[in-house]
């Protein structure tokens, strides 16, 4: 073999080796890109939901005004309905990607798996509930108020002491139960939802009901309880931790939802929503001590 022929073989070998190396590097780079893409997908909050790409939000059945107007959360009308869509937007979901479902209050905060991503229906944040579910930051600090019939025997009560002999009803598992037990009496009637609570007062089964102030005013204004009045707001009943959005225990969305609520508070959106939907329900009430 001549010297020139030898050089040609060496050059060809080097070229082939270079091509193989380039191909290997290309495959390696491609693999890194695919891995990065996979990692990006796994960190996308919109893919961490019950139905990837959709945000399933639960509320009560029925859902009451002014939290949800006309029992239609999909309209975005009402304080909690509007807030839910603002949170969804912060998480990266379009309005069309929000799916609404319904649950009872107590089942939402019970231990176990859930078929929804968020649940919003005036849940007070408590340490006991945190053992079973996650919460966002508080989005509203409500108080508790007393509703009675205008012609009832406790219609003229001026203080909490005046209610100690009344048959008082509350919704099961709510802050109202804690407040009544702490400030009025131990013997309390419980009901599954506000509708049943209102019906009990309407029928004379109880003498008074206690629920959050916004709901109390709505019950009277809407005549959910006929010929009723809000006796007053219970002094010292403000929920210090506030109402929070409920998520399944150890949800991958909890941190993001908490940040969304915090951002909505920081940018003034929560205040705007409260002024729009809740202001008329929380002013000019007698304080019961």
Tens of pLDDT, residue by residue over 211-256, are 999 999 999 999 989 999 999 999 999 988 999 999 999 999 999 9
CB proximity list for 197: less than 8 A, separation 6 or greater: 169, 170, 171, 191, 209, 211
Q: Are 200 and 206 within 8 A, CB to CB?
A: yes
Tell me the mean pLDDT in the region 167-179: 93
Please report the pLDDT score of residue 282 as a whole number. 79
pLDDT in the model for residue 29:
40
**Contacts (Cβ under 8 Å, ≥6 apart) of 38:** none
Answer yes or no: same fold for 47-141+243-288 and 144-234.
Answer: yes
Class of domain 47-141+243-288: alpha beta
ω into residue 267 within 30 of 0, thus cis? no
State the Cα–Cα distance between residues 48 and 54, nearest whole angstrom. Answer: 9
Q: Which residue has the tokens 């053992």?
A: 131
181-193 burial code (b ≥16 CB/10 A, e <16): eebbeeebbebeb
pLDDT value, residue 281 = 85
The domain made up of 144-234 is a member of CATH 3.90.1640.10: no
Query: According to the model, what pLDDT value does residue 92 have?
Result: 97
pLDDT of residue 239: 86
The predicted structure's pLDDT at residue 28? 37
Residue 204, pLDDT above cutoff 70: yes
pTM of the entire predicted model: 0.73
Nearest C-alpha neighbor of 165 from the set 187, 143, 181: 187
Rg (CA), the chain: 29
Q: Would you list the domain boundaries of the chain?
A: 3-43, 47-141+243-288, 144-234
The answer on pLDDT for 36 being more than 50 is: no
């Amino acid at each position: 073999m001549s010297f020139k022929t030898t050089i040609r073989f060496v050059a060809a070998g080097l070229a082939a080796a270079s091509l193989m190396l380039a191909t290997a590097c290309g495959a390696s780079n491609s693999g890194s890109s695919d891995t990065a893409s996979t990692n990006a997908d796994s960190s996308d909050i919109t893919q961490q939901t019950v139905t990837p790409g959709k945000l399933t939000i639960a509320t009560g059945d029925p859902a009451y005004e002014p939290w949800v107007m006309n029992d239609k959360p999909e309209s975005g009308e009402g304080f909690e309905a509007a807030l839910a869509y603002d949170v969804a937007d912060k998480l990266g979901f379009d309005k069309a990607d929000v799916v609404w479902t319904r649950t009872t209050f107590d089942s939402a905060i019970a231990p176990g798996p859930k078929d929804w991503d968020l649940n919003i229906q005036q849940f007070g944040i408590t340490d006991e509930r945190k053992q079973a579910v996650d919460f966002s930051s508080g989005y509203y600090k409500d108080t508790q108020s007393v509703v009675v019939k205008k012609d009832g025997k406790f219609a003229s009560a001026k203080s909490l002491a005046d209610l100690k002999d009344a048959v008082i009803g509350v919704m099961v598992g709510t802050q109202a139960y804690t407040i009544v037990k702490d400030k009025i009496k131990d013997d309390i009637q419980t009901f599954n939802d506000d509708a049943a609570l209102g019906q009990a007062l309407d029928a004379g089964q109880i003498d008074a009901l206690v629920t959050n102030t916004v709901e109390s005013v709505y019950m009277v204004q809407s005549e959910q309880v006929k010929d009723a009045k809000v006796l007053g707001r219970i002094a010292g009943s403000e929920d210090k931790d506030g109402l929070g959005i409920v998520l399944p225990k150890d949800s991958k969305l909890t941190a993001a939802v908490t940040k969304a609520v915090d951002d909505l508070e920081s940018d003034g959106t929560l205040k705007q929503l409260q002024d729009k939907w809740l202001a008329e329900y929380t002013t000019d009430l007698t304080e019961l001590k």
